[in-house]
Structure 1
């Protein structure tokens, strides 16, 4: 079972998505700096975040026939 962990890391000022395997081990998937997210704007960043999760989740990809 694949899952995801999303962290807003204050120290590094990164929004990071990790893949989490069935054993609970996280692996870096992608990250965006706070500055990049702010420059994208709320709607565009929200869409990017959602697309990353959907495209990396086989069950969600199937749900949307991607």
Structure 2
């Protein structure tokens, strides 16, 4: 076999052996994206809840002064 043919065989073998790892990494990346989206949603909800709590606290202070 020529050097070029050996390189092609080696490359093909390497691709075949690494395919399961590539598939697993793709699944992990997809899962990471889902977690990031959920974390963003939780962060937005916490910020929203904090704003509402501040508003309620302000109303409580104002009503206690009246």
TM tier, shorter chain?
Answer: under 0.3
Task: Tell me which protein shows more helix as a share of its residues.
Answer: 2
- Name the TM-score, length of structure 1 as normaliser: 0.27
- Name the TM-score, length of structure 2 as normaliser: 0.27
Task: Tell me which protein shows more strand as a share of its residues.
Answer: 1
Structure possessing the higher relative contact order (Cα contacts under 8 Å, 6 or more residues apart): 1
Q: Which has the larger radius of gyration?
A: 2
